[in-house]
Homo-oligomer: A and B are copies of this chain.
Amino acid sequence: MSDAPVRTGRRARGGGGAARRAERTAVSVETAKYIERNVPNYEVLTDAALDVIEANAETVLADIGVNFVDNPAALALWKDAGAEIDGERVRIPRGLARKLCATAPSQFTQHARNPDRNVVIGGKNLVLAPVYGPPFVRDAEGGRRYATMADFEKFVKLGYMSKWLHHSGGTVCEPTDIPVNKRHLDMLLAHMVYSDKPFMGAVTEPSRAQDSVEMCEILFGKEFVQDHTVMTSLININSPLTFDGIMMGALEVFARNNQASIISPFIVGGAMAPVSVAGTLTQVLAEVLAGVAYSQLVRPGAPVIFGTFVTSIDMNSGAPTFGTPEASHITYGAGQLARRLGLPYRSAGSFCGSKLPDAQAAYETANSLQMGLLSGVNFMLHACGWLEGGLVASFEKFVMDADQLGTLHHFARGVDLSENGQAMDAIAEVGPGGHYLGCAHTQANFKEAFWRSDLLDYKPFETWDEEGARDTQVLATARVARMLETYRQPMLDPTIESNLRAYVAEKKASMPDAFG
């Protein structure tokens, strides 16, 4: 694959790169670079509190242990590493898991087929990816309905067009019209063809993880994939303290192929974890320690992310709740634990429980997004489009949230203390009782000074009223339509595209359909 044709979809190398880049950007859209924070993180816990939680997590691993279910090979690896095996229970001596985690990289690059879209996950960076997993979609016109592959493709296109989104994500919605054993192929194809941003692999069976690797080998070249991380995939832990064979099987495929996994407790506080923040953090840390340690047993150095998905349960209705203060405590605290462990951190998102992209949705989402930035999250899945506790991917909310992600970029820039930033000349020029609208400093700086929404309404009341008194959802419906109308597919080598399509067709033909 090193003699790729000029119209390549994969990483440009060697001569002619500039020409290719020019051609490619002709059909490309503006995407902001991933966030590099120039502001501090918020630390809700003291070092003493973190010490307690870390010691408790070691106690959980040593005394209670974790279950590796349907996975004799994992038990064997753990035994060799020094753990005590009792049936499927793995008890990990104090300090062993943390020691094994040390080979995991503190940051890694995930490559995109357009190298301008590569992301570095870890450190002070924040990479934003869209909602993952909803079986339903909603828009103003069609209401709430089961998601289809056509919806999926629309979301991939919106993600590609969204300036503040760095990553195409994975299962942006479940294409329920495609058999469950085949949909991963169509989903991956859509990410590869309709976007040039990085994406996620399939995790629902180890064989589907393997298919993901093979499709990446077509897109990027086989050698390139062995040497470079081109997928970041979501491996959920079956909290409390359980690692099921299917998810671990997918993790094993990705780790062996040097592909990244988010190792993520899935916590509904009060159901899968204690109702207390410190208790939940203890369990989260124990689970991540065990999961990351296992990834390093499979392949030392495999790239992984410390994941934390957290919501609390409404004890009256049993429903999950979002944007709550307890979830914030956990998200801030888990970030501190991840940094002490030296691992990239995944948490937060456009979380809300609301059924509609209304004020409830926006309060809950804004609370989650802001805390995500300040808690030091490095990879934010679900950064836009999440609705109804994750059951629904909303077209309108996707663009509403994606617009708000701009506030995170601007906040993360920090405060400019240069001479120009200090603006002493401007204060002297304007003086008491004057105004800054026309002064030299304002003229020189106003274009870059303030973040500006591409969606929200700032018009005078009368203009807004004459134009139909539109609320945010109505504005978002129009924006979705406009983005899809102006969408153009990013260039991809036709040979690669046809090889991908042939792979998908062949794979699909080799299996009977399976639903549910």
User: A residues touching B (Cβ–Cβ < 8 Å)?
Assistant: 39-40, 42-45, 49, 52-53, 56, 59-60, 63-67, 89, 144, 238, 240-242, 269-280, 282-283, 312-317, 319, 321, 323-326, 328-329, 333, 353-367, 370-371, 374, 388, 391, 397, 400, 404, 407-411, 413-417, 420-424, 426-428, 430-437, 441-442, 445-447, 449-453, 456-461, 464-465, 469, 471-473
Contact = CB atoms under 8 A, between A and B. Distances in A.
Given A276-B441, A279-B423, A363-B404, 14 more contacts: A42-B374, A52-B417, A59-B424, A64-B428, A240-B430, A271-B437, A275-B436, A275-B449, A315-B447, A319-B459, A321-B453, A324-B410, A366-B370, A370-B371
Given A321-B450, A411-B329, A437 B274 contact: no
Nearest to A355: B464
Given A356-B471, A374-B374, A437-B270, A415 B450 contact: no
Contacts of A464: 355
B241 A433 contact: yes
B275 A420 contact: no
Contact of A315 (B272, B397, B450, B469): B450
Contacts of A452: 314-316, 321
A432 B436 CA distance: 63
B431 A277 contact: no
A144 to B, nearest CB: 7
Contacts of A67: 432-433
Contacts of A364: 366, 456
Contacts of A240: 427, 430-436
A360 B469 CA distance: 13
A312 B356 contact: no
B44 A42 contact: no
Q: Which 6 A-B pairs have the closest CB atoms?
A: A279-B423, A366-B366, A362-B362, A325-B411, A274-B423, A241-B432
Contacts of A457: 353-355, 360
Contacts of A49: 415, 417
Given A359-B358, A432-B65, A461-B388, A274 B426 contact: yes
Nearest to A446: B315
> Which of A275, A374, A449 has most B Cβ within 10 Å?
A275
B459 A60 contact: no
Given A359-B471, A450-B321, A277 B328 contact: no
A355 B461 contact: yes
Nearest to A238: B433
A458 B324 contact: no
A420 B277 CA distance: 11
A430 B242 CA distance: 12
Nearest to A409: B325
Contacts of A424: 56, 59-60, 279, 282
A446 to B, nearest CB: 5
Contacts of A60: 424, 427
B471 A89 contact: no
A324 B371 contact: no
B456 A324 contact: no
A436 B329 contact: no
A407 B315 contact: no
Nearest to A431: B64
A168 to B, nearest CB: 24
Contacts of A427: 60, 64, 240, 274, 279, 282-283
B275 A450 contact: yes
Nearest to A461: B355
Given A421-B278, A427-B279, A242 B432 contact: yes
A321 B454 CA distance: 13
A408 B310 CA distance: 19
